[in-house]
Chains A and B, each alone.
Chain A
Amino acid sequence: LAKTTQPISMDSYEGQEVNITCSHNNIATNDYITWYQQFPSQGPRFIIQGYKTKVTNEVASLFIPADRKSSTLSLPRVSLSDTAVYYCLVGWGSNAGNMLTFGGGTRLMVKP
């Protein structure tokens, strides 16, 4: 399974755009890139998933360059409630199994 590397922590202020980049140099051809968010005392929650180029939904955008060796989660105009741990996961290729492989995540702190 592809290993991911992301910053341990990031700080931001309310109203700013936050970009969290994840490296996944050994991503397989069939792998998808997925981001989850986790608040304290809760289970992880799906944010967004993509395979290539750009994906946007109501809460975030995911930018994936052509070589797919990295990806960037973009959170527009963050609020205090976006303070959480964000996980980048790579997998679900046809031979990679169905489990999620969590790394350490990025702890985002949004300040007023």
Chain B
Amino acid sequence: EAGVTQFPSHSVIEKGQTVTLRCDPISGHDNLYWYRRVMGKEIKFLLHFVKESKQDESGMPNNRFLAERTGGTYSTLKVQPAELEDSGVYFCASSRLRTADEQYFGPGTRLTVT
């Protein structure tokens, strides 16, 4: 069984540019989550999809972040325009069940905004 994959593994962009991160969950996992760790801080939840619907986006920092999951398969997280404080590692995770279920994490995308 293939794990959660994320692309790219590393992205370096300038302030004001746009970046799109992609996450491919494990096949058959309806639940998809985005998290991020900014420098020196803890891993923080961003949002949760159930299939193509946003179940909880309470962790999204502001409207420069847009997440989509068209068709309930892969998901993208777009940052537009990127700011310096957006630098960090963005993790995607997926799970089969909605509650009390193991979440499988991808390796993360390291975003550096200069």
Residues in A lying within 8 Å of B, measured CB to CB: 32, 34, 41-46, 49, 87, 92, 94, 97-104
Contacts and interface: CB of A to CB of B under 8 A. Distances in A.
Interface residues of B, number: 26
A39 to B, nearest CB: 10
B55 A98 contact: yes
A49 B95 CA distance: 14
A18 to B, nearest CB: 22
A100 B44 CA distance: 8
The 7 nearest A-B residue pairs measured at CB = A43-B105, A99-B45, A102-B43, A92-B100, A46-B102, A32-B100, A43-B91
A49 B48 contact: no
Interface of B: 4, 31, 33, 35, 42-45, 48, 55-56, 58-59, 91, 93, 98-108
Given A43-B93, A104-B42, A98 B107 contact: no
Contact of A43 (B99, B102, B108): B108
B61 to A, nearest CB: 14
Given A43-B4, A100-B35, A49 B42 contact: no
Contacts of B44: 102
A32 B100 CA distance: 7
Given A99-B48, A100-B35, A43 B107 contact: yes
Given A32-B100, A43-B108, A46-B103, A98 B48 contact: yes
| B43, B44, B55, B93: most-surrounded residue (chain A CB, <10 A) | B43
A99 B105 contact: no
A42 B35 contact: no
Contacts of B105: 42-45
A78 B35 CA distance: 29
A89 B33 CA distance: 16
A33 to B, nearest CB: 10
